[in-house]
Amino acid sequence: MKNPCLRPSRTLKIKNCLRSLTLGLSSLAMIIALNAASIPSAAASASAAGICPSLLNQSFPKLQDDSAQSLCQYAGKVVLVVNTASYCGFTSQYDGLEKLYSQHKDQGLVVLGFPSNDFSQEPGTNQEIAAFCTNTFAVKFPMFAKTNVKGPKANPLFAELSRLAEPPGWNFHKYLIGRDGRLVGSYSSMVGPQSRSLRRDLDKALAAPAAIK
């Protein structure tokens, strides 16, 4: 006769079953976590593959802290790119640009400011430029670190905009990019933020649906 003490009890069997089930669930949770971690990488690959328009598929350091900012975050918006300077006869256009941004940002407009000393009117550091923009004009639209906007040293965005249209002839030249990531128009410093021609093109661009290709 077999010793009943050697027989596994019902309770022990249940415990073993629960232990196996727990291990199985732990493995499943690990697989799910690994798959979830790969989602951002997949999103980045999709962006590089063409979701972000080529004109915006680049990054620049932020004026305030030099942190890299991808222009892909503005895909699907209407973008007004402007080269700026603190000591220029057109510097007061900061006020009009900020008003334009404030009025239309909820409709999808973003103004991007790129300070430049290419015309010898922006000698300050990034910190000095940031303080000037904030304290003098209460600028809230995105501003980027001081850069070159014309000639062989022009940053990639301005190099491409110059190829598509014309290089900046002076500070506060403006380029309007539609929701589809294509250049809509180029405007000289003489064309102010509230000018009829710019506002006409801006209103039309804001009314267009996004169609990123």
Give the integer Cα–Cα distance in Å for 148 and 154.
5
Query: Which secondary-structure segment (H or E) carries 70?
Result: strand 68-70
Sign of CA dihedral 144, 149, 152, 155: positive
Give the active site residue among 52, 72, 88, 133: 88
Task: State how beta strands 78-84 and 109-115 pair.
Answer: parallel
Q: Which residue has the tokens 């010793």?
A: 3
- Beta carbons within 8 Å of 162's beta carbon, 6+ residues apart: 150, 154, 168
Residue 86's contacts (CB-CB under 8 Å, 6 or more residues apart) are: 115, 121, 122, 124, 129, 132, 133
The encoded tokens of residue 128 equal 């000095």
17 included as an active-site residue: no
CA 163 to chain centre: 22
Rg of the chain over Cα atoms, rounded to whole angstroms, equals: 28
- Indicate left, alpha or beta for 166 from its phi (over 0: left) and psi (-120 to 50: alpha): beta
Spatial distance between the Cα atoms of 205 and 78, rounded to a whole number of angstroms: 7
Query: Which residues are catalytic, by number?
Result: 88
